[in-house]
Chain A
């Protein structure tokens, strides 16, 4: 024991883009000199798809995890077999982050059924007597800016009992009129989603108004495809019976890691939507859905 391996990338945020050089150091700390069979560094990037139990049954969901799609995989030999002195040894490295051919470097994304992850793995091979040492470090990839793709697309909305779908007894609904707008449904991922909402009138008291951010993940496979919508986060923008006629700001920051620019590939899709959820005091739940298009600038 006593030998520790660490991989440190240079940037504090660990964020890199296509074409940039990933640089950092491998740090080896040990009390004694370390004999080894070579140290190598591997950069890996892959998309993991998982099928939802809803579509294929539990057993298949468990076994049938679709094969990960490799995005990038390259290894470099850092140190030839030999001996490292005792104490702290820092070995700097530089790794160009470059795609071969016309492959695309997807953004890092952590979802439920789709995961896009990039790691740096350092391996120190050792003689038979000592265990090999491995250390992995995740780094984050942001796609290049998609300039030109973004057009502002403001949306105005009005919610009344009449505009609702899926209502069982329309007559029992209290009367209400909620108006508002989203400044754009085409969003820059680093900028918050903004807009305003006015409760013009409502017979029943308002209990809460929330913004629900939803991811819609689609995985294609041999038997067809699976499409699942799950909640990422829920942000309350009004608590209690708000003042009528007073605009309430809609404001939501997109969480890092759990969101990425809207993504469509042959095998899978990652899309996002936002729901405006109004909860009334008599437990009526009113939801208005808006598909979003996220991109990175």
Chain B
């Protein structure tokens, strides 16, 4: 009884005046720590040739998206990495970094040059085979053969030869019947064994591996796999070239100082030069042409160690060396490799690039020669397929030539191609390699050429596809635009094969969306539907159809306009495989959330988007991953937040009701709906300025009812508790007292169900911290809740205390007592004449009871019980191992009394002294804290009418730490 009778009476208004911080005007102008970081990413034009739509993305504050998922849009470093799928760079990321640095050195190639690394993934994905492959490795030495007969070879040579014989691959090894995957694994193994051999100083073995690998490039069996084989094997060659270069570079280290980036041959020491020469001599003696060419090209850069002009002399020689390669396909890839190395090592030497292309044109007639034809017959490969095998190589050569080349050169190249009968294969490569602006400006010429050109097996639709790709990147002259579309579409729409058709259409959709209105887009979509529906052809074209949708929503992001494109929704019906359908829905929703600036009530948009969201929601099943669910829920929530019927609150509520029935399987959506409805109720209150009419009161009660029946369907217990509390507060604010009571009662009766452990982010954590936080929050709310007239005084507080009493707390935790101590704060606040806060238009207990003595007596009784509970608990902590906890709790209680008790009361004063001593008794108190506390008391004592604090301070001894 002695506690609350003597609760310190407080004047909250003056206290708050005294404690207010000096207000500081905030400068919202530039820097704010919570301001979203805007990342503007710019990609080079050529990079998005394929995936052209995902252009610039920036996460701005207007986007309602989850900030984490918006990062995933387009630039996720992981997916970029996967797209590159580069086994070499993944295996050795440092190599990649170094390669990049090397590239920077040769300043002539800028970032606008699409590097080989971005091509390789594409080639690997495109040129595949199901046929069986073979690897034929002959590891025996051929250089040895000529010399082993010699009797007096030098010692060095002899040991070398012995080394050769000792290798486990001393014999011929043929691996037959490999699947493509096996083959790729084998090549990767070879790459690894090259690195291993190198690092274990078996340079001869390393060279042999490289020679054997490059020899595989002379083999054109399973010709449709050749481009991929080229990619895999040149990876190995690149590795080798780098190893040799770096080794020689490391030999040039002088006193641990490496050579500058652009060193001159004079600064290279003799040992390094000799080693370098040795490599070149060794390579010059390789018997076969193709390995000799590739290996020398691989270490082209090493010429820098020998002479300034080395590279410029080597390149033309290697270029003409390729003339010796009889197979045109093998030759053109050899040229591509040389251009690739040339661009990397000496991009300024344009001449050999051109020479390579002209040499290729000279040998062009071979492609239709007997040798090739016979080979194709044997392998059962059709000419159109065969011709497409050339594209990556020719594209690459032309791209190297076209890089920063003047228009004059490009025009000359085109003329040269034309002379060869306007060949479709060449025309296609010209279109994919030259600058898009160059092509776009001459679109009409190109269309004419495409029409005229001698197809000779190369599929014409690929030509239109290439042209379309250019037009997506660069704009043709204004006047030609419609004619271009008409001419192109005339051809495209006639394509019989759905795959050919869709590959073309996919590309041209972007051009259409970019330059024309919804009428043309609608026509194009209708045409696609018409082509893809028969025989369910769309089933094989989901990626392309998806990309079409992507492109359409990239350009038409005004959703009112988008849904007025009649064929848009029918188009969506083609996605009948659920996973794809959901993907498409996600894309649309992402775009909506990103671009929709204002909330909407347009029935067309709402209907369509509800339908789309429903599709996403319905895809959720027991097997759906948590992440996926979260993602879907975030998208749906984004949509719900953008729906607003303005002042038509009833319509808004009925939308929420409908949404609830639609999205009942996604909890985060239900939570969002409860919040939205609560917000709606508060909005109503704001509009009515706090005075509800009969109609709005009924409406608000409907909102409250919505929340009340929705909350129990949630599974997470803390979500439920917090929502009960939150909704109760909203109900209270809207003067729905009995409803608020119901919420609070529900919360009280839910507390016993709180489990000891809960799962947070997939990990089991103790729940006590959460519970403590919730209960403190709850108790503060209860201050303003008026007592129910039919229930007893402080019915809810008592109920909650009972629940806390019965709750099974952890054995060794003091949480219960901490809560009790906090309850004392509440009780002391309740005894005040005027409470610290009120809800507008709601009379709290201070007004209800008006400081009635019976009410105060009730509170006193309650606090007495609580205090005795605390003291009991303190007593039980008297054991050795719990003394520290005892000390802490005692101090905590002491502080409470200090803050809320009236210390003029002797008994209370004595109690606090006892607690102080208890806290220090066993030496567990933190001296610093004790000193600070004492200082605080002394300071308080200096204030007017607070002299009893000074007295108290005198009675509190400080225990020195000894």
User: CB of B362 within 8 A of chain A?
Assistant: yes
Asked whether B371 lies within 8 Å of A239 as measured between CB atoms, the reply is no
Known: A110-B152, A209-B324, A242-B324. Is A249-B317 also a contact (CB below 8 A)? Answer: yes
Chain B: minimal CB distance from A245 (Å): 9
Q: Which of B149, B317, B326 contacts A112 (CB 8 A)?
A: B149
User: CB of B155 within 8 A of chain A?
Assistant: yes
Asked whether A232 lies within 8 Å of B146 as measured between CB atoms, the reply is yes
Asked whether B321 lies within 8 Å of A251 as measured between CB atoms, the reply is yes
Chain A: minimal CB distance from B374 (Å): 9
**B-contact 0/1 string along A102-142, CB 8 Å cutoff:** 00000000111001010000000000000000001010000
User: Nearest CB to that of B282 among chain A residues?
Assistant: A255
Known: A11-B270, A239-B289, A258-B147. Is A251-B317 also a contact (CB below 8 A)? Answer: yes
Asked whether B153 lies within 8 Å of A249 as measured between CB atoms, the reply is no
- Interface SS of chain B: helix, strand, loop or mixed? helix
Residues of B within 8 A of A247 (CB): 320, 323
**A-contact 0/1 string along B115-141, CB 8 Å cutoff:** 000000000000000000000000000
Chain A: minimal CB distance from B536 (Å): 46
Residues of A within 8 A of B273 (CB): 12
Asked whether A110 lies within 8 Å of B150 as measured between CB atoms, the reply is yes
User: CB of A143 within 8 A of chain B?
Assistant: no
Asked whether A239 lies within 8 Å of B154 as measured between CB atoms, the reply is no
Known: A239-B290, A255-B285. Is A110-B153 also a contact (CB below 8 A)? Answer: yes
Chain B: minimal CB distance from A111 (Å): 7
User: CB of A231 within 8 A of chain B?
Assistant: yes
Asked whether A233 lies within 8 Å of B146 as measured between CB atoms, the reply is yes
Chain A: minimal CB distance from B680 (Å): 79
Asked whether A110 lies within 8 Å of B154 as measured between CB atoms, the reply is yes
User: CB of B327 within 8 A of chain A?
Assistant: yes
Asked whether B287 lies within 8 Å of A50 as measured between CB atoms, the reply is no
User: CB of B271 within 8 A of chain A?
Assistant: yes
Taken together as a complex, chains A and B put the C-alpha atoms of A252 and B289 apart, in Å, by: 11
User: Nearest CB to that of B330 among chain A residues?
Assistant: A240
Chain B: minimal CB distance from A95 (Å): 19
Asked whether B281 lies within 8 Å of A249 as measured between CB atoms, the reply is no
Residues of B within 8 A of A230 (CB): 149
User: CB of B218 within 8 A of chain A?
Assistant: yes
Q: Which of A138, A240, A252 contacts B325 (CB 8 A)?
A: A240
Chain B: minimal CB distance from A10 (Å): 9
Known: A12-B270, A12-B274, A255-B281. Is A138-B289 also a contact (CB below 8 A)? Answer: no
Of the candidates B271, B289, B324, the one having the most CB atoms from chain A within 10 angstroms of its own CB is B324
Known: A11-B270, A138-B156, A256-B281. Is A239-B363 also a contact (CB below 8 A)? Answer: no
Residues of A within 8 A of B370 (CB): 205
Known: A13-B270, A239-B290, A243-B323. Is A253-B285 also a contact (CB below 8 A)? Answer: yes
Residues of B within 8 A of A241 (CB): 326-327, 369, 371
User: Nearest CB to that of B275 among chain A residues?
Assistant: A12
Taken together as a complex, chains A and B put the C-alpha atoms of A71 and B36 apart, in Å, by: 86
User: CB of B27 within 8 A of chain A?
Assistant: no
**A-contact 0/1 string along B259-287, CB 8 Å cutoff:** 00000000001110110010011001101
User: Nearest CB to that of A245 among chain B residues?
Assistant: B362
Residues of B within 8 A of A205 (CB): 370-371
Residues of B within 8 A of A243 (CB): 323, 326, 362-363, 365-366
Residues of B within 8 A of A237 (CB): 289, 321, 324
Residues of B within 8 A of A235 (CB): 284-285, 287, 292
Asked whether B321 lies within 8 Å of A249 as measured between CB atoms, the reply is yes
User: CB of A28 within 8 A of chain B?
Assistant: no
Taken together as a complex, chains A and B put the C-alpha atoms of A218 and B486 apart, in Å, by: 81
Q: Which of B152, B218, B277 contacts A239 (CB 8 A)?
A: B218
Of the candidates B271, B289, B290, B330, the one having the most CB atoms from chain A within 10 angstroms of its own CB is B289
Residues of B within 8 A of A27 (CB): none
Asked whether A242 lies within 8 Å of B321 as measured between CB atoms, the reply is no
User: CB of B412 within 8 A of chain A?
Assistant: no
Asked whether B320 lies within 8 Å of A249 as measured between CB atoms, the reply is yes
Contacting residues of chain B (142-178) with chain A, CB-CB under 8 angstroms: 143, 146-147, 149-157
Chain A: minimal CB distance from B226 (Å): 14
Taken together as a complex, chains A and B put the C-alpha atoms of A206 and B370 apart, in Å, by: 12
User: CB of B288 within 8 A of chain A?
Assistant: yes
Chain A: minimal CB distance from B497 (Å): 34
Asked whether B285 lies within 8 Å of A246 as measured between CB atoms, the reply is no
Known: A239-B289, A248-B323, A249-B317. Is A12-B150 also a contact (CB below 8 A)? Answer: no
Residues of B within 8 A of A209 (CB): 324
User: Nearest CB to that of B220 among chain A residues?
Assistant: A240
Contacting residues of chain B (914-930) with chain A, CB-CB under 8 angstroms: none
Chain A: minimal CB distance from B240 (Å): 20
Asked whether B285 lies within 8 Å of A242 as measured between CB atoms, the reply is no
User: Nearest CB to that of A255 among chain B residues?
Assistant: B285
User: Nearest CB to that of B293 among chain A residues?
Assistant: A239
Asked whether B270 lies within 8 Å of A249 as measured between CB atoms, the reply is no
User: CB of A42 within 8 A of chain B?
Assistant: no
Asked whether A248 lies within 8 Å of B274 as measured between CB atoms, the reply is no
Taken together as a complex, chains A and B put the C-alpha atoms of A136 and B158 apart, in Å, by: 15
Contacting residues of chain B (285-329) with chain A, CB-CB under 8 angstroms: 285, 287-290, 292, 317, 320-321, 323-327
User: CB of A186 within 8 A of chain B?
Assistant: no
Residues of B within 8 A of A257 (CB): 154, 157
Contacting residues of chain B (353-370) with chain A, CB-CB under 8 angstroms: 359, 362-363, 365-366, 369-370
Q: Which of B149, B152, B274, B366 contacts A115 (CB 8 A)?
A: B152
Known: A112-B149, A115-B152, A243-B362. Is A236-B287 also a contact (CB below 8 A)? Answer: yes
Q: Which of B280, B290, B323 contacts A242 (CB 8 A)?
A: B323
Taken together as a complex, chains A and B put the C-alpha atoms of A159 and B710 apart, in Å, by: 97
Residues of A within 8 A of B330 (CB): 240
User: CB of A178 within 8 A of chain B?
Assistant: no
Residues of B within 8 A of A115 (CB): 150-152
Q: Which of A11, A111, A138, A233 contacts B155 (CB 8 A)?
A: A138
Residues of A within 8 A of B289 (CB): 236-239
Known: A12-B273, A258-B147. Is A242-B154 also a contact (CB below 8 A)? Answer: no
Asked whether A238 lies within 8 Å of B285 as measured between CB atoms, the reply is no
Asked whether B326 lies within 8 Å of A242 as measured between CB atoms, the reply is yes
Taken together as a complex, chains A and B put the C-alpha atoms of A12 and B269 apart, in Å, by: 9
Asked whether B274 lies within 8 Å of A249 as measured between CB atoms, the reply is no
Taken together as a complex, chains A and B put the C-alpha atoms of A37 and B359 apart, in Å, by: 70
Q: Which of B151, B277, B327 contacts A50 (CB 8 A)?
A: B151
Q: Which of A112, A206, A242, A253 contacts B284 (CB 8 A)?
A: A253
Chain B: minimal CB distance from A192 (Å): 8
Taken together as a complex, chains A and B put the C-alpha atoms of A231 and B147 apart, in Å, by: 9
Taken together as a complex, chains A and B put the C-alpha atoms of A11 and B156 apart, in Å, by: 17
Asked whether A248 lies within 8 Å of B149 as measured between CB atoms, the reply is no
Residues of B within 8 A of A117 (CB): 152, 154
Contacting residues of chain A (201-238) with chain B, CB-CB under 8 angstroms: 205-206, 209, 230-238
Known: A240-B330, A248-B324, A258-B147. Is A233-B154 also a contact (CB below 8 A)? Answer: no
Residues of B within 8 A of A12 (CB): 269-271, 273-274
Chain B: minimal CB distance from A66 (Å): 13
Asked whether A112 lies within 8 Å of B362 as measured between CB atoms, the reply is no
User: CB of A48 within 8 A of chain B?
Assistant: yes
Asked whether A48 lies within 8 Å of B274 as measured between CB atoms, the reply is no
Residues of B within 8 A of A110 (CB): 147, 150, 152-154, 157
Besides the known contacts A12-B269, A12-B271, A246-B359, 19 further A-B residue pairs in the complex with CB atoms under 8 A apart? A12-B273, A110-B147, A112-B149, A115-B150, A117-B154, A192-B284, A232-B146, A233-B285, A234-B287, A236-B289, A239-B218, A240-B330, A241-B327, A243-B326, A246-B362, A249-B317, A249-B324, A253-B285, A257-B154
14 A-B residue pairs with Cβ-Cβ distance under 8 Å, sorted by A, are A12-B269, A13-B277, A50-B151, A138-B156, A232-B146, A234-B146, A235-B287, A237-B321, A240-B325, A240-B326, A240-B371, A246-B359, A248-B320, A253-B285
Binding site for B on A (CB under 8 A): 11-13, 48, 50, 110-112, 115, 117, 136, 138, 192, 205-206, 209, 230-243, 246-249, 251-253, 255-258
Nearest 7 CB-CB pairings of A with B = A240-B326, A253-B284, A238-B324, A12-B270, A12-B274, A115-B152, A236-B289
